[in-house]
């Protein structure tokens, strides 16, 4: 199975800050990676797929990069509505696996 | 706009069974792979099972293999998950999620999610 490791597990930043979350796969997954945002009490929402493709309707301050084993999600200018937990997910092979999540808080 | 609505959750004793359903609206249902993902209280997301658009291919997490069965009825736009031999560690919110499809290919990224249905396994 492919293990997905996210870091940090939590981050606190100010409005307007740049926030970067990393996700590492235990073996190469090319660009078969998605990022999801989950707000408290809500279902997850797809932000990015294929490592860097922005899902329709997602604000352009979100971006993704990486390939192989190392990936990043960047929020270029943190907004109050970005308070959420972010998860990566590999879609390279079954079993599909998620990272442990990164909780983003506003300072 | 595609919507997914889960149902069937509830309180069940260890060893018991439940059947979860997910109704999809406004969708060429058979064109999409479908997935179940769960989230235990205060924990992260855990993939449970996936099924291809035709239903011919199914996939399971090791933690549920042999106990859970995924199925779909494309004529009724419905996805199901049969949960047998339930354990306390199966307690979670269960989400139904639609797989992304682009240019005729299926992808197991999940672009539409239901609100979830809660399963509680306890005596």
For residue A49, the chain B residues in CB contact (below 8 A) are 100, 107, 109, 111
Q: Report the pLDDT value the prediction gives residue B103, as an integer from 0 to 100.
A: 87
Residue A81 is given by DSSP the state G
Q: Which of B47, B111, B116 is the closest to A96 by Cβ?
A: B47
pLDDT tens per residue across span A12-36: 999 999 999 999 999 999 999 999 9
Which residues, at least 6 apart from A77, have a Cβ–Cβ distance to it below 8 Å? A16, A17, A18, A61
Location of structure tokens 């609505």: B5
Average pLDDT estimate for B69-98: 97
- In sequence order, the β-bridge partners of residue A84 are A104
DSSP string, B19-81: EEEEEEESS-GGGS-EEEEEE-TT--EEEEEEE-SSS--EEE-TTTTTTEEEEEETTTTEEEE
For residue B109, the chain A residues in CB contact (below 8 A) are 34, 46, 49-50, 89, 91
Q: Which of A43, A94, A99 is the closest to B95 by Cβ?
A: A43
Q: Report the pLDDT value the prediction gives residue B114, as an integer from 0 to 100.
A: 98
Which residues, at least 6 apart from B22, have a Cβ–Cβ distance to it below 8 Å? B4, B5, B6, B7, B34, B36, B78, B79, B80, B81, B96, B114
Structure tokens at A97: 């696996």
Q: Report the pLDDT value the prediction gives residue B51, as an integer from 0 to 100.
A: 97
Higher pLDDT, B26 or B68: B68
* Position B88 pLDDT exceeds 90: yes
Residue A53 is given by DSSP the state E
pLDDT tens per residue across span B34-72: 999 999 999 999 999 999 999 999 999 999 999 999 999
């Amino acid at each position: 199975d492919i293990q997905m490791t996210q870091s940090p597990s939590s981050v606190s930043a100010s409005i307007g800050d740049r926030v970067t979350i990393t996700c590492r796969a235990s073996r190469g997954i090319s660009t078969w990676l998605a990022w999801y945002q989950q707000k408290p009490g809500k279902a997850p929402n797809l932000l990015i797929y294929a490592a860097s493709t922005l899902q329709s309707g997602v604000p352009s301050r979100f971006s993704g990069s990486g390939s192989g084993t190392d990936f990043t999600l960047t929020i270029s200018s943190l907004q109050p509505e970005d308070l959420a937990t972010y998860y990566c997910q590999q879609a390279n092979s079954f079993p599909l696996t998620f990272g442990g999540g990164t909780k983003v808080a506003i300072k | 706009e595609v919507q997914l609505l889960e149902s069937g959750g509830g309180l069940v004793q260890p060893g018991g069974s439940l059947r979860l359903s997910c109704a999809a609206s406004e969708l060429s249902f058979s064109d999409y792979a479908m997935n179940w993902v769960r989230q235990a209280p205060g924990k992260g997301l855990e993939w449970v099972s996936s099924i291809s658009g035709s239903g011919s291919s199914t996939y399971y997490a090791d933690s549920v293999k042999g106990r859970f069965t995924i199925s779909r009825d494309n004529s009724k736009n419905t996805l199901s998950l049969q949960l047998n031999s339930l354990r306390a560690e199966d307690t979670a919110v269960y989400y139904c999620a639609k797989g992304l499809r682009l240019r005729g290919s299926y992808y197991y990224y999940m672009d539409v999610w239901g609100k979830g249905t809660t399963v509680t396994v306890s005596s």
